[in-house]
Structure 1
Amino acid sequence: MSVPRPKLCGMSEPADTPAREARRDRGAGAADLATSPYRADRDRIVASPFFARLGGVTQVVSVSGSGLLHNRLTHSLKVAQVARAIAERLAADADLVPLLDKLGGCDPDVVEAAALAHDLGHPPFGHLGEQVLDRIARHRFALPDGFEGNAQSFRIITTTDTRGPRAAGLDLTAAVRAAVLKYPWARLAGAPPHPSALPDPPRGAAEPKDAPGTGSSKFSVYVTELDDHAGARLPFAGRIPDWQQTVEASVMDNADDIAYAIHDLEDFHRIGVLQHAPVSAELGQWEADRAGFAALDDAALRSDERRPGRSLEVLRRRLHARDSWMVDDDAFGEAVSRVRAELVDSLLAVPFDGSVDAEQAFGRFSSGWTARLVAGMHVLPDPPTRSGHVLLGRTQWHEVQVLKFVHRRFVLLRPDLALYQRGQARLLTKLVEALDQWLDDRFEADRLPRRLNDLVELAHAEYSALAADHPETLIGATGEGPAGRSGVLALARGRAVIDFVASLTDTQAASLLEALSGRTAQPWSDTFVL
């Protein structure tokens, strides 16, 4: 598939083995400080304005609130730290090296670079913004693959960032581009069979149950980047299935889970949101009457799910239905006990007061759990479809599930957070509408923000090429594609607006809407936006 923009090509790195040479599809550029191509990749990612903006993008609660909270930048740095530790541990195991090489390699520099890049595509207001932009992209602009943060990250490093020497993306090596692909398929398009058609689809590949025909719920490539996806995956052909993560992507994915499970809980204990009593009641009640909860039928269980212990039982049953290859009731019970002892009865039992003792308690909890989970990583030569080649041990896997449950049940599902997020959803919706209207105003076309205009031109070239050579990729869930030149232009404008809004920080999005709504007299001076 060809799109009229510069492609990534050439091999200038000295060869050692054919597999490693294929992964290094370029050498370090003249302006790079590092001689290793993978370290040069890492440097290019860190120097990108898309990376810098993550400091102003929500992790869970907006960064405009407490300075104590993680944002997408600090989260990415911690994921990179954990990912490198896992990769170095695996690479130091002489017994694992032959298997890792057979599967395509596990280089700590590749893993670190991918971890730093994995959240570049997160829009303002985090996962809430992702859901809003996906809904708008599909329903307002008829973009067949909507919006997805992982796919947006891949689009940035291959297309919309212009800091690479070829002015299209960052010109990263095949290994790093492949390692960013957490879900290495498109939403709907791609060479058949699509992984959603597998008897037991990979994690994220299945369609949402409430939205049949819309394609995979998670994916890492838009149709506009299918050629870049194919090029990144080419060195791994015959080593791993087309739908399988590379080993390095699998390491990054696990590191993301570990950082999310530990550090977000710390954040909300710091600001007093995560309270000892309700978490203790939930875990303690379930432990005290495991058999009683297990005996309840599904209807009785869900009839009063807010009673302590019942949500945890729902999780246990969901794991059996979704991950029967790994779940074990004894391991689940032990995980609940460990989380209650070390998170609830130790860390949460003492309110955070900013003292040295409180900070040291955080340090012990964070470093101890991180080391424990990293030490539990191992490699499977032939994993089940719902797992990558690198995965947590059974004990640690259950512990992460329980930690993530605590975060979801006692933070994400809070009504006050929902109230806050509904306002953010309205803000993003109005901002997209305002920019779309500006694009339609022929009297103001010559005064568009330059970057928005550039994004329209880029997307128009991409969709024109796809409409001419691969029109099947532009057909969405409705079975309809764009109608002629006007349809292609509509797709291009929609993708450009989505690209533009997704690249803003939380504050930029709010300030830009204020300006477009005429509610501020401040002159605009943010050159990254304009």
Structure 2
Amino acid sequence: MTTHPGPAQPDHTPTSPVTIDLDPGSQPLAHAPAGLDPRHARAVPEAADPHAHPTTDFRTDLERLRFSPYFSRLSAVTQVIPQANVGPVIHNRLTHTIKVASVARTIAVGLQADTGQAGDILRALGGCDPIVVQAAASAHDLGHPPFGHLGERVLDRVARERLGLPEGFEGNAQTFRILTELDTHGAAQPGLNLTSAVRAAVLKYPWTRLEWRDNFTELPPHERPHGVGEVTPTGAHKFSVYGLHAREVATVRAAYPAIGPWQQTVECQVMDIADDIAYSIHDLDDFYRAGVLQQASVSAELRTWLRDQTLLARTPLADLTARPRDPGNSLELLRRRIVSRDAWIANDDAFRAAVERVNEELVDDLLAVPFDGGIATERSLSAFIRSWLDRFQRSIVVDPAPQVRSGHVRLERQAWHDVIVLKFVHTRFVLDNPDLATAQRGQAHLMEVLVLGLEEWLTDRNDVGRAPRRLIESAEATTESYRHLRADSPELLSGPTDDESIQRRGRGRAVIDYVASLTDAQAISMAGLIRGVG
């Protein structure tokens, strides 16, 4: 098996994963002085209080993020289920973000407090500051556009196919763009001017889309970092960096010399794990309350697979793929996929144990009594969430030499499988629910109309002056950024780079930035106005 060459991993002892006891009563370790730690560096130096505690820099970052209008808008952006459809209890991107930050902080405090071998490993990798982790969690969804992942897919397709942007759109890359260019802190420079530690901690997929399209296509999927997926003509499936910001990312990550080129920082890994935990557990709160998860359908899928596991394992792949809605087939396809992609951790016994646990605790216990708003169902839901949350937070391990699809901090094997099965329930019975298709199709059409309508407005010489001022100024600034990139790092651009194409890129990226910054309601309203029906 061949692997892409990269920096050697640091030589730690021991060479096997170390389980962490998350004891909230433990005391955190001391920090290095701010003046000696490159993790505290900002893009533009700021005056510092020489008597301040070293963590003051990171707390300042956290406050800047929480006062950001991009953070506030998350309260009006869909998480999974649209708010208007089911009442006031449904999560939005802001409530999800707050819960991710809470879970992440609990994990980070335990990791930072470890004085044993795991702690030594983490310190050699750059440390794990709970405030940095909270800041990263607070920022991790800033780039999500209206209508959640549906809006993300539409913006990506329209950007690539209609606006001349080979990199398209990606919510994680948009987050970094917001932090470093689109948001503001004072009048001196664009962006929030955050520390290197916090900027690095939001890089869940620390590569550009096009570098995976152009340089690493020979690597099979199981040798690619998690998030790259199938490398298609468009490049990596997930990425956290647009070419416009690749140089800044390189500078930020230089503060972590022990972290490999495709690895997250420790603080980013903690945030990413917390996001998975919150997504797999807290979103079930919404699905249960809204009545989206039906016990009969979920039970049929899980029980059929448990009963017919041996038979399904012998079923030809083509037959499973042709009938994915037959009970058990989709779950078997999931099992095969993780064995193919993640043989380093995938295990049939652990997978079956995860299916059994989800079937018992979710299907047989929680879903057996439909949510009615009463005290009994509220208590059952609370107990379910607390049980799973505690289990996951006790299942953190530190790996000194992680597989390329993993990280130095991860969930242990059984918990990893538990998350995979819970997320499968989300996808199979909520995201792929045919009952949501009509609304989603309308939202997708609305987003496309909005993007193309704004782009057409910017090219209308007779009326461009009346376009939103922020959009006009953004198009001018972004075009200039692309000109600088063409002059300094032309290898980061793909496709034509003549003046007209550069201007089109700047205009297209500005339109995408503008639409991605709207709330769901703003997008609906503006699309209607542009079509003349508002």
TM-score (norm 1): 0.90
Partners of 2:341 and 2:186 lie apart in 1 by: 41
Cα offset, 1:314, TM superposition:
1.3
Would the alpha carbon gap of residues 379 and 167 (structure 1) be closer, same or farther in structure 2, given more than 3 Å must change? same
Question: Cα offset for 1:417?
Answer: 1.3
Alignment map for 1:90-129 (pairs within 5 Å): 90-95=111-116, 96-129=118-151
1:523 equivalent in structure 2: none
**Structure 2 residue corresponding to 1:337, chosen from 343, 356, 362:** 356
Letter in 1 for 2:90: L
- Paired residues in the alignment total 496
What pairs with 1:62-141 in structure 2 (closer than 5 Å)? Answer: 62-66=82-86, 67-95=88-116, 96-141=118-163
Query: Aligned pair 1:517/2:531, yes or no?
Result: yes
| 1:471–1:481 Cα contact (<8 Å) kept | no
Any conservation in 2 of the 1:39–1:109 contact (CA below 8 Å)? yes
1:209-248 → structure 2 map (5 Å cutoff)? 212-237=232-257, 239-248=258-267
CA–CA distance in 1 between the matches of 2:309 and 2:400?
35
Q: 1:314–1:376: structure 2 CA closer, same or farther, 3 Å change rule?
A: same
Task: Determine if contact 1:380/1:390 at 8 Å carries over to the other structure.
Answer: yes
User: 2:197 aligned to 155, 158, 175, which one?
Assistant: 175
Q: Secondary structure in 2 aligned to 1:58?
A: coil
- Which one of 478, 481, 487 corresponds to residue 496 of structure 2? 481
Say which of 223, 227, 231 aligns to 1:204: 227
Structure 2: how far apart are the matches of 1:142 and 1:303? 35
Q: Distance in 1 between matches of 2:529 and 2:181?
A: 29
Check the 8 A contact 2:301/2:331 in 1, yes or no. Answer: yes
Superposed CA offset, 1:87-106 (max 9, x none): 11111221122111101111
Contact 1:45 1:51 survives alignment (8 Å)? yes
> 2:209, 2:235 within 8 Å by CA — same for their partners in 1?
yes
Offset of residue 63 of structure 1: 2.5
Structure 2: state its 5+ residue gaps: 1-29
Contact conserved, 1:28 with 1:36, CA < 8 A, in 2? no
2:410 and 2:36 map into 1 onto residues whose CA distance is 23
Letter in 2 for 1:226: A
Q: How does 1:353-368 map to 2 (within 5 A)?
A: 353-368=372-387
| Cα distance between partner residues in 2 of 1:30 and 1:504 | 35
Q: Please name the residue that 1:16 is paired with.
A: 32
Q: Does 1:501 align with 2:515?
A: yes
Shift of the alpha carbon at 1:165?
A: 6.2
Q: Give the secondary-structure state (helix, strand or coil) at the position aligned to 2:167.
A: coil
CA-based RMSD = 2.2
Deviations 1:171-216 (A, max 9, x none): 11000000000000111149x99566555110122444xxx32211
Cα offset for 1:20? 6.4
Cα separation, partners in 2 of 1:152 and 1:197, compared to 1, 3 Å? farther
* Matched residue type, 1:41: D
**Which has the higher mean CA deviation after the structures are superposed, 263-272 or 492-501?**
263-272
1:417 equivalent in alignment to 2:436: yes
Q: CA deviation at 1:70?
A: 0.9
CA deviations on 1:319-364 (whole Å, 9 max, x unpaired) are 1111111111111111111111111111111000001111111111
- The Cα shift of 1:300 comes to 3.0
CA deviation profile, 1:70-123 (whole Å, cap 9, x unmatched) = 111111111111111111111122112211110111111001100110000000
- The aligned counterpart of 1:526 is none
Amino acid at match of 1:185: W
Question: Aligned ranges for residues 193-342 of structure 1 at < 5 Å?
Answer: 198=219, 200-208=223-231, 212-237=232-257, 239-342=258-361
Contact 2:165–2:509, Cα closer than 8 Å, also in 1: yes
Name stretches of at least 5 consecutive residues in structure 1 with no aligned partner. 1-13, 521-530
- SS of aligned partner of 1:204: coil
SS, match of residue 254 in structure 2: helix
Q: Which moved more, 1:221-230 or 1:165-174?
A: 165-174
| Contact kept? 1:201, 1:385, Cα under 8 Å | yes
Letter in 2 for 1:222: Y
Task: Give the deviation of 1:305 after TM superposition.
Answer: 2.8
1:48 to 68, 79, 85: 68
CA-to-aligned-CA distance 1:454-494 (integer Å, 9 cap, x gap): 2112201101111222222221xxxx3222x2211111000
User: What is residue 156 of structure 1 aligned with on the other side?
Assistant: 178
Post-superposition offset of 1:245: 0.7
Q: Distance in 1 between matches of 2:419 and 2:370?
A: 23
> What is the aligned-residue identity percentage?
52
Report the equivalent of 1:4: none
How far is the alpha carbon of 1:29 from its aligned partner? 6.4
Query: Is 1:407 matched up with 2:407?
Result: no
Aligned-partner Cα distance in 1 for 2:102–2:336: 33
Which of 491, 499, 504 is equivalent to 2:505? 491
SS at match of 1:65: helix
Cα distance change of structure 1 residues 416 and 29 upon mapping to structure 2, 3 Å threshold: farther
